[in-house]
Amino acid sequence: MIMSAFIKTVQNTAHKHNLWSRGSKIIVGVSGGPDSICLLDVLVFLSKKYEWQLRIAHVNYGLRDNDSDADALFVKKLAKQYKLPCSVLKPKITKQTNLEEYLRNIRYIFFEKLRTKYKFDSIAVAHTLDDQAETVLMRLIRGSGLSGLRAMQVKNGFIIRPLLEITRKDIMRYIGEQHLTYRTDDSNTDTKFLRNNIRHRLIPYLQKNFNPNIRDVLAHTARVVAEEYDMFFLTQEQSSIPFQHTDHTLTFQIKDLLALNQGRQQILLRDFFKLVRGHLKGITSKHTYVVLDMFRSEKSKIKTLSFAKLIITSVGTRATITLAKTLKK
């Protein structure tokens, strides 16, 4: 894929999903790896046409000692080369369990703080089609429902992913053609992380034994699920139910929820969880199934479930969803 074709693919993706406009102000997440270096180079090239304002953001987690510092120095030099401002965060890492999710939260909170501080329009990150395929498998393994199987979106709030429809193979070809340099993170081969395990073991196995185009198939599946989910959601917008929501507590009538079709029950219950908790991390379709089973049960008048910092209580015909930590006050 020559440069012009590569750039055209990015522009087509951007046009389909309305990622930017002339004069946009974009934070660019740059780790120093090939994907983010490619993203930065493409955005710098396009900025001349669209008159953008770009700012580089980098997180130095310090987990690889001198190599992490070298990554940060590399990104700073790159910013000078492109004549762009650069913000670097070096957080204190305290958590060791579920490290991937922990680091991701640090990264996106930092990016959003920069976007707000400098009044930028969006945050560009360098996820690829390969990343999308890995995400679909990760969520399948964890038992996600339709919402989770939509995987990553090209545009999600202020986050934009201009390379999400491009393979890592094409990115490496672009880097070679443009003679770009990048940093290599050895931790990306550590299979103790689920994503790395899927990338280096599961996907190659599926390619070899089931479908050589498995990455394209999985990414296509995510697109189809996202489109059908959004279509279903839009057509069901009026299928909500009355509820009361104040200070991390939400109440509603169980009979109103159970009167909806099963798919809508699942979606609405997840919406309620998100309203109370602020996000859906750690919540899967299994949780909603268990809650709905409790609502249907006639064994006792008062029933309670707790998971993912939520407490769900059923008293007679009324259900209450409460954020657990608020009960300790």
Its pTM stands at: 0.76
The domain made up of 3-224 has a fold known as Rossmann fold (3.40.50)
Alpha-carbon distance of 39 to 123, in angstroms, equals 12
Q: Is 76 exposed, middle or buried (0-12, 13-18, 19+ CB in 10 A)?
A: middle
pLDDT, residue 198, reads 95
The predicted pLDDT at position 262 comes to 72
Mean pLDDT of 51-68: 94
For residue range 103-134, list pLDDT tens digits in order.
899 999 999 999 999 999 999 999 999 999 99
Please state, in angstroms and rounded to a whole number, the distance separating the CA atoms of residues 278 and 280. Answer: 7
Residues 6 or more apart from 100 whose CB is under 8 A from it?
193, 194, 195
User: Is the pLDDT confidence value at 236 over 70?
Assistant: no
Residues 6+ apart with CB under 8 A from 166: 6, 9, 10, 13, 128, 129
Percentage of the residues of the chain whose pLDDT score is greater than 70: 94
Q: What is the mean predicted confidence (pLDDT) over 199-228?
A: 93
How many whole angstroms separate alpha carbon 6 and alpha carbon 187?
28
129 or 285, which is more confident: 129
Q: Three-state DSSP class for 70?
A: helix
All structural domains of the chain with their residue ranges: 3-224, 243-328
pLDDT at 329: 38
CA distance 329 to 326: 6
Q: Which of 48-62, 146-160, 274-288 has the highest mean pLDDT?
A: 48-62
Nearest-Å Rg of the Cα atoms of the chain is 22
Pairing of strands 25-29, 53-59: parallel
Query: How many CA atoms within 13 Å lie on the side-chain side of 270?
Result: 22
Q: Which CATH number fits domain 243-328: 3.20.20.140, 3.30.420.40, 3.30.2270.10, 3.30.465.60?
A: 3.30.465.60
Do domains 3-224 and 243-328 share one topology? The answer is no
